[in-house]
Chains A and B, each alone.
Chain A
Amino acid sequence: MATEQSVDLVDDDTVGWFTKAVLLAALTAALAQISIPLPGTLPPFSLQPFGMFFAGLLLGPLWGGVALLLYVLVGIAGAPVFSNANAGLGYVIAGQGTGGFLVGFLVGAVVAGAIAHRSLTPKPVADLSVPVQVVALAAAVAVVYAIGVPWLAVVTGLPFARAAAVMAPYIPLDLLKLGIAVGVVQGGYLAGR
């Protein structure tokens, strides 16, 4: 005897946010493979934080969080999406001492989205004022370091102050990335998104 099952279609808005989250997860993974070498002893300029910035600003706290959660889950499942094509739970925990930063990106996207949109439903990015964008992304960067530095200390057994000193050279670069991300939004490149 044939059984009937009704199809519970996903509504159009949800499909739109879902596909944006999927593609921003893929973009975060792609940007993690790209870095620009800097002169001298400066660390390479990694583009990975842009995934967190754009996920928070474009998708808000819920779907921005989903995007970064998908990124981390796919990496744990074995896809080579972390820096230098790494994968696995071991990399999320240890990384190159930087495993906590992956978790920090996830929480950072949620925090940036929550501050920028103040609602689970995101507004168009063009409606976000510059100060709100700056505060949202600065909070995201602060969260990334608030999670990443103690995590580094726990994984490596370094005293907290020394772990913070190891990560300090990256802060000006992250602030520069924050400025570039706000510039991208203000330049009207994401109008209508």
Chain B
Amino acid sequence: MIRFSSKTIRRALTASALALPLLTSASVLAHDGEEGPQPTGVVKERMDAMKGLKDALMAIRGTLGSEETFDQAVVTENAKKISAVAGEPLLALFPQGTNEAPSEALDNIWTDWENFKIKSGLLKTKADALAVAEGLDASKAAFGEMAQSCGGCHKVYRLEKEQ
């Protein structure tokens, strides 16, 4: 029978106590989907641009809750930000074949480029319409249409990630 000295036990406990935060942070990272390769180059630029679009969308959403929260200036400013990224600048972020991990871009972007171009242009049109919409109801309607144009590309050209 093997007997452990109290020193051995203490050492083992210390080691596992030290390892615990490491394990926890690793599992937290895995939940956040941060594991795997980190984006570089144009993939990183693209993901940063998408992050910028998300932030603009949430800024607009934040004001569209009610008449009390509604802020025309916030809507207009963020719609212009989205418009500035949509269309040609967005297309430039998708050079042929740049979909190495962790990119979620699908190959059909490049086999179906003309349609992708049209859809990217549609986002610009819809963002411009939102920038000139006046009042809560009109802004809400224009915001919904613009979001649908985001989804229009995500449905066809994006790898659906696990949630």
Interaction A to B = no
